[in-house]
């Protein structure tokens, strides 16, 4: 919710990640795979497949990639340049470990990124997309601090990773014959593909896919909607096709729906302006939560394929992931409130009906109303604030608006950044 207490927890968690990286006994700044109850840190863990013919490393670069995104999101809310400057070398060290696992073609040999019971021994499409995005974010943070040479270095790495991501097989990740991104390529050069959701959505969401690739992914997602949307959001469309060489010894634990998949699926849906799907996803998760006193389980299989036991879920019965993702999807995607480097608050609603939204928390401090012929935004803060507004996902069917505020009246497009003084309102009226 971005209260000061929330932000303090986020800061301390990021700094704890830096500490664990700095404690790496090999001085490689690796984020540990796990920290055991006795305090023991595991920096290298491999797991076998069910048939014991394959094995893969568990999350060797995941933490290093994700801490870059976490730091950027924290900075966008707090604007604490002193904190960022004090920790920029920690972020660079995180990036160097990722680069140590990146070949001369810009391909990240990540092994397992999210699904620890799917034995991905090689280069994984979702990891490649996340890495390209994380390096772009790091380059932006370097630029904010005036570190131009470092910014150029990480921008170059990001572009090389993105280029490799959208390149066709065998060197890239795009299967031109089936018009989709594959899941992973193993160290023998064999591609594995069961129509993985995030492998296809992320290159589009981050803006790396070509126009033809983006169109093909949109068709693919639409064609397999029944599988992906069985519950928000299933990891792949063909979970029954994974082999015993691809499934870990812990079983098909991750071949189902999980909050981490849903978060990025919702990001894709928002980018595609699929407001109705976002609302349906929120309703589906809320209905499932209501069955158990609003506690949510770790994984949702929906009594499908592997877990035919009369229950919809497996794993821990009270797990943090879905409640947190629900709040993030509701606030940042459906209601459209987030933070960016260029404004105090970004307002990009994906509502499906008229209504009003109000947040008094200081990091938001706003009210907006969506009506048949008007959008109104009010700054509830006691000081001027800059707002980045995007009305393109709303149902106005208009490309031009008459904007009225204290500064006067003007014609604007659906995207606009403006500053509102304390308690000031701005009104958008569709012109056509």
- 308 and 193 assigned to the same domain: no
Are 192 and 58 found together in one domain? yes
Question: What integer is the mean pLDDT of 380-400?
Answer: 96
Task: Return the ∠ at Cα 148 (arms to 147 and 149), rounded to 5°.
Answer: 100
| Element at 4 (helix H, strand E) | helix 4-22
Mean of the pLDDT values across residues 156-169? Answer: 98
Question: Does residue 1 have a pLDDT over 80?
Answer: no
| 346 and 266 housed in the same domain | no
* pLDDT in the model for residue 7: 94
Quick one: average pLDDT of 30-47? 94
Per-residue pLDDT, 146: 98
**Domain CATH number, residue 418:** 2.60.40.1180
Same domain, 249 and 260: no
At residue 397 the predicted structure's pLDDT band, cuts being 50, 70 and 90, is confident
User: What's the rounded mean pLDDT across residues 211-234?
Assistant: 98
Counted domains in the chain: 3
Neighbours of 334 (CB within 10 A): 21
How high is the pLDDT of residue 69?
97
- pLDDT band at 78, cuts 50/70/90? very high
- Same domain as 47, residue 25: yes
Q: How far is CA 133 from CA 68, 159, 162, 188, 370, in A?
A: 9, 9, 8, 27, 32
Give pLDDT tens digits for 290-333. 999 999 999 999 999 999 999 999 999 999 999 999 999 999 99
Identify the pLDDT of residue 2: 75
Mean pLDDT of the chain: 97
Res 432: pLDDT: 76
Looking at per-residue confidence, does 341 or 272 come out higher? 272
Cβ atoms of 149 and 79 within 8 Å: the answer is: no
Task: Say whether both 273 and 142 belong to one domain.
Answer: no
Contact residues for 422 (Cβ-Cβ < 8 A; gap 6+): 379, 381, 382, 383, 384
Instruction: Dump pLDDT digits (tens) for 94-145.
Output: 999 999 999 999 999 999 999 999 999 999 999 999 999 999 999 999 999 9
- Are 70 and 185 contained in the same domain? yes
Output the DSSP codes for 260-297.
HHHHHHHHHHHHTT-HHHHHHHHHHHHHHHHTTTT---
CB 277 within 8 A of CB 290: no
Q: Are residues 344 and 243 in the same domain?
A: no
Q: State whether 328 and 379 are in the same domain.
A: no
Cis peptide before 274 (omega within 30 of 0): no
Q: What is d(CA 367, CA 429) in angstroms, rounded to the nearest whole number?
A: 17
Whether 20 has a pLDDT exceeding 90, the answer reads yes
Mean pLDDT confidence for 332-347 = 95
In terms of domains, do 184 and 239 share one? yes
- Same-domain check for residues 10 and 142: yes
Q: What angle do CA 263, 194, 298 make, to 5 degrees?
A: 40
> What are the E-state strand segments in 182-320?
184-186, 191-192, 299-300, 313-314
Instruction: Give start and end residues of each alpha helix (H) in 23-166.
Output: 62-78, 81-100, 125-144, 148-166
Domain that holds residue 67: 4-213+220-253
Contact 255, 197 (CB under 8 A): no
51 and 171 together in one domain: yes
**With contact defined as beta carbons under 8 Å apart, do 138 and 156 qualify?**
no
Domain boundary residue, one of 280, 310, 334:
334
pLDDT, residue 136, reads 98
pLDDT of residue 341: 87
What pLDDT, on a 0 to 100 scale, did the predictor assign at position 162? Answer: 98
Q: What is the CATH number of the domain that holds 160?
A: 1.50.10.10
């Amino acid at each position: 919710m971005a209260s000061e207490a929330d932000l303090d927890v986020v800061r301390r968690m990021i700094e704890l990640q830096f500490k664990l990286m700095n404690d790496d006994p090999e001085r490689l700044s690796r984020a540990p795979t796990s920290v055991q109850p006795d305090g023991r840190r595991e920096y290298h863990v491999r797991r076998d497949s069910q048939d014991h013919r394959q094995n893969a490393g568990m999350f060797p670069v995941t933490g290093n990639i994700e801490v870059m995104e976490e730091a950027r999101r924290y900075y966008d809310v707090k604007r604490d340049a002193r904190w960022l400057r004090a920790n920029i070398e920690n972020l660079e060290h995180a990036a160097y470990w990722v680069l140590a696992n990146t070949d001369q073609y810009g391909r990240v040999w990540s092994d397992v990124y999210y699904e620890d019971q799917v034995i991905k021994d090689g280069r994984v499409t979702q990891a490649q997309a996340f890495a390209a995005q994380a390096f772009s974010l790091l380059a932006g943070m370097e630029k904010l601090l005036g570190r131009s040479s470092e910014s150029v270095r990480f921008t170059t790495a990001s572009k090389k990773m993105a280029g490799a991501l959208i390149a066709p097989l065998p060197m890239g990740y795009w299967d031109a014959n089936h018009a989709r991104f594959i899941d992973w390529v193993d160290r023998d050069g064999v591609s594995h593909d069961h129509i993985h959701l995030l492998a296809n959505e992320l290159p589009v969401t981050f803006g790396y896919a070509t126009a033809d690739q983006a169109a093909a992914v949109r068709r693919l997602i639409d064609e397999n909607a029944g599988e992906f949307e069985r519950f928000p959001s299933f990891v792949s469309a063909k979970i029954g096709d994974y082999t015993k060489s691809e499934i870990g010894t812990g079983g098909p634990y991750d071949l189902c729906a999980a909050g981490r998949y849903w978060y990025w699926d919702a990001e894709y849906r928002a980018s595609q302006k699929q407001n109705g799907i976002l609302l349906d996803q929120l309703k589906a998760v809320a209905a499932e939560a209501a069955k158990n006193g609003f506690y949510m389980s770790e994984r949702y299989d929906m009594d499908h394929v592997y877990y035919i036991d009369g229950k919809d879920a497996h794993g821990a019965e009270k797990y943090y992931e879905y409640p947190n993702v629900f709040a993030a999807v509701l606030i940042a995607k459906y209601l459209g409130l987030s933070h960016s480097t260029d404004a105090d608050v970004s307002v990009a609603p994906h509502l499906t009906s008229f209504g009003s939204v109000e947040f008094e928390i200081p990091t938001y401090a706003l009210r907006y109303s969506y009506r048949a012929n008007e959008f109104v935004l009010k700054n509830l803060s006691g000081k001027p604030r800059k707002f980045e507004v995007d009305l393109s996902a709303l149902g106005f069917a208009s490309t031009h608006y008459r904007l009225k505020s204290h500064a006067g009246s003007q014609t604007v497009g659906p995207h606009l950044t403006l500053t509102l003084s304390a308690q000031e309102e701005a009104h958008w009226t569709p012109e056509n």
